[in-house]
């Protein structure tokens, strides 16, 4: 017979959505158990960039989770758009009443959240397998799993289940296809990203549109920089020597001003594909999807982690209202409320992606429209303000 335990909220996935949800609920006295298929080392060691919106930074500080972020993060008040060999600075702080973004890698956020969770005495079961959801349409849902591949089946009984287990996890697949609509764009290009040991070449991010393809200059620390170039997502990284990568970065990023990119040893590189994806609905019975289980954005708009946190902030408030006041309105409206914000973020991410990338499948007319869009953005205060408002983060409802 399976070992049975109980928790008010069972969380599947120890990514940003699951960890933030656990912390938010813990602060309301609502306990949770997190189930994660990867080891702690794998969770904390998956290197991912991160740009945090202003409200997410404020939330982390309010929760007492932001000390290392405030010490080691990079605070950017603007970005540079570069095209036709010219650079145009977007002063986001000036356009949005002082808001800015913080460059602080997602894996660093996760390390902070995991450490704080364990320090609080919260439970994270790493390395579980054979995770299955049961009874989500009833008031007694449960999750079965094994702590190891050969271990006995255990059952976690819950009042609610939060599916924070990413695009390939079991949670979304538990929702019947008859009531689950999925919307997707797979882009015909990807990003080749590198980490290099070098000092910063520029104080803020540079987004460059070039006829050879998009390029992005970002940062990770005073000693390590992160850069990307647009490539065929099916290309083999073995085809890209360091010399070839640097040549493309110089070509796509440098402008007529004489600014020069600083090179350094490349110690990590890889190619990622890009897609936009949304699942409607995000709720089925007592199962609630959050983060990448419900939506994916291309990295151009820097919205992925921020959307995940927005989801679980809404969900935590709804669960708190249910447990403390028996008020189920927030839970009933969870999917609709989240999707309003998600579709706006998807729109912005699609807009930034299509405007900045060279799409070989587009007509010359469409490509010229994107250049006209860039030209409009950098010469219209209204357009710059719209871009800045979206980039630093739309207000939470």
Q: Note if 379 is an active site residue.
A: no
Say what angle helices 334-356 and 381-392 make with each other, to 10 degrees.
130
CATH topology of domain 190-272: D-Amino Acid Oxidase; Chain A, domain 2 (3.30.9)
Which position has the token pair 């409320």? 337
Q: Note if 303 is an active site residue.
A: yes
DSSP symbols for 293-317: GTEE--GGG--HHHHHHHHHHHHHH
Please give the Cα distance from 241 to 146 (Å, whole number): 43
Pick the catalytic residue from 187, 207, 228, 334.
Answer: 207
CATH 3.50.50.60 positions along the chain are: 3-74+99-186+275-392
CATH number belonging to the domain at 3-74+99-186+275-392, selected among 3.60.15.10, 3.40.50.2000, 3.50.50.60, 3.90.110.10: 3.50.50.60
Q: What is the pTM of this model?
A: 0.94
Q: Give the number of other CB atoms < 10 A from CB of residue 367.
A: 15
Which position has the token pair 């009443």? 97
Residue 50, pLDDT score: 87
Pick the catalytic residue from 299, 351, 357, 370.
Answer: 299
Positive or negative CA dihedral for 346, 351, 352, 356? positive
**Low-confidence residues in the chain, pLDDT < 50:** none
Q: What share of the chain is helix, strand, coil (3-state, %, to 5)?
A: 40, 25, 35
Q: Give yes or no for a contact between 145 and 4, defined as CB atoms under 8 angstroms apart.
A: no
CATH 3.30.9.10 positions along the chain are: 190-272
Q: Note if 99 is an active site residue.
A: no
- Written as six digits, the tokens of 115 are 């450490």
Give residue 64's region: left, alpha or beta (phi > 0; psi -120 to 50).
Answer: left
Angle at 179 between CA 154 and CA 15, to 5 degrees: 45
- Identify the burial level of 385 via C-beta atoms within 10 angstroms of its C-beta, where 0-12 means exposed, 13-18 middle and 19 or more buried: middle
The pair phi, psi for residue 185, each rounded to 5°, is: -125, 130
Q: Note if 256 is an active site residue.
A: no
Decide the pairing of beta strands 181-186 and 153-163: unpaired
Pick the catalytic residue from 26, 284, 295, 303.
Answer: 303
DSSP H or E run through 392 = helix 381-392
Q: Note if 76 is an active site residue.
A: yes
């Amino acid at each position: 017979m399976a070992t049975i335990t109980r928790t008010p909220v069972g969380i599947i996935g120890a990514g940003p959505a699951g960890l933030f949800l656990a912390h938010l609920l813990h602060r309301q006295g609502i306990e949770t158990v997190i189930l994660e298929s990867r080891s702690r080392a794998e969770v904390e060691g998956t290197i991912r960039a991160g740009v945090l919106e202003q409200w997410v930074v404020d939330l982390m500080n309010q929760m007492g989770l932001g000390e290392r972020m405030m010490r080691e993060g990079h605070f950017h008040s603007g970005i540079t758009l570069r095209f036709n060999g010219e650079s145009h600075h977007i002063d986001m702080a000036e356009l949005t009443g002082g808001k800015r973004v913080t460059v602080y890698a997602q894996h660093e956020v996760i390390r902070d959240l995991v450490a704080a969770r364990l320090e609080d005495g919260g439970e994270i079961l790493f390395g579980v397998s054979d995770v299955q959801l049961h009874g989500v349409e009833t008031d007694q849902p449960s999750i079965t799993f094994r702590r190891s591949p050969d271990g006995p089946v255990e059952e976690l009984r819950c009042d609610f289940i939060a599916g924070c287990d990413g695009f390939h996890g079991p949670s979304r697949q538990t929702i019947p296809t008859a009531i689950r609509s999925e919307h997707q764009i797979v882009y015909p290009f990807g990003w080749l990203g590198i980490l290099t040991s070098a000092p910063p070449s520029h104080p803020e991010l540079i987004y460059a549109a070039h006829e050879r393809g998009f390029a992005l200059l970002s940062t990770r620390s005073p000693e390590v920089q992160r850069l990307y170039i647009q490539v065929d997502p099916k290309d083999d990284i073995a085809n890209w020597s360091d010399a070839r990568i640097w040549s493309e970065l110089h070509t796509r990023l440098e402008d007529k001003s004489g600014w020069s990119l600083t090179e350094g040893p490349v110690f990590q590189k890889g190619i990622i594909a890009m897609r936009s994806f949304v699942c409607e609905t995000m709720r089925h019975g007592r199962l609630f999807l959050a983060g990448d289980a419900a939506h994916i954005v291309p990295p151009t708009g820097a919205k992925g982690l921020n959307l995940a946190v927005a989801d679980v902030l809404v969900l935590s408030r709804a669960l708190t209202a249910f447990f403390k006041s028996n008020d189920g309105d927030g839970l009933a409206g969870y999917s609709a409320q989240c999707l309003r914000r998600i579709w706006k973020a998807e729109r912005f991410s699609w807009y930034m992606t299509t405007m900045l990338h060279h799409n070989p499948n587009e007509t010359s007319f469409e490509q010229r429209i994107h250049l006209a869009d860039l030209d409009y953005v950098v010469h219209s205060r209204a357009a710059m303000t719209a871009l800045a408002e979206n980039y630093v983060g739309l207000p939470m409802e």
